[in-house]
Amino acid sequence: MEAQTRMNQKFESLFTQMVEESKEMKSQITKLTGALAVQERGKFPSQAQSNLTGQHMAQTSNSEGRNIKEVNAITTRSGKSLDEPSRTTVTSISQQRYHLQRLTRQRNKVLATTF
């Protein structure tokens, strides 16, 4: 009978320890979840650096006097820059197809050298 009582006490103490550890783990997970949920407004979770808006922008005005923002350079995530940004206006379908193919080739070149 004494052996059974000792075994019961051991199991009860183990069970109590497990319950306490479980509560501690839940508390830690709650803290981590809260820390991850805090996010700056206007930023994506994986955004490592601030948005560089305006760094490559130039402002001009058209004939009507309106200010127009133009991009002066294109930089990929890996830091590579494209030589010439496209500034042509497309008037026909054949020109549109030509420019689309040209841009696709440029993109493929950048992707091929990146990976």
Each domain of the chain, given as residue ranges in start order, spans 1-40, 73-114
| pLDDT at residue 81 in the model | 66
Average pLDDT over residues 12-41: 84
Query: Over 70: is that where the pLDDT of 115 sits?
Result: no
Average pLDDT, the chain: 72
| pLDDT at residue 43 in the model | 64
Please answer whether residues 86 and 95 qualify as being in contact, where contact means their C-beta atoms are separated by less than 8 angstroms.
Answer: no
Please answer whether residues 99 and 88 qualify as being in contact, where contact means their C-beta atoms are separated by less than 8 angstroms.
Answer: yes
Query: Over 50: is that where the pLDDT of 51 sits?
Result: no
Average pLDDT over residues 85-113: 77
Query: Over 90: is that where the pLDDT of 46 sits?
Result: no
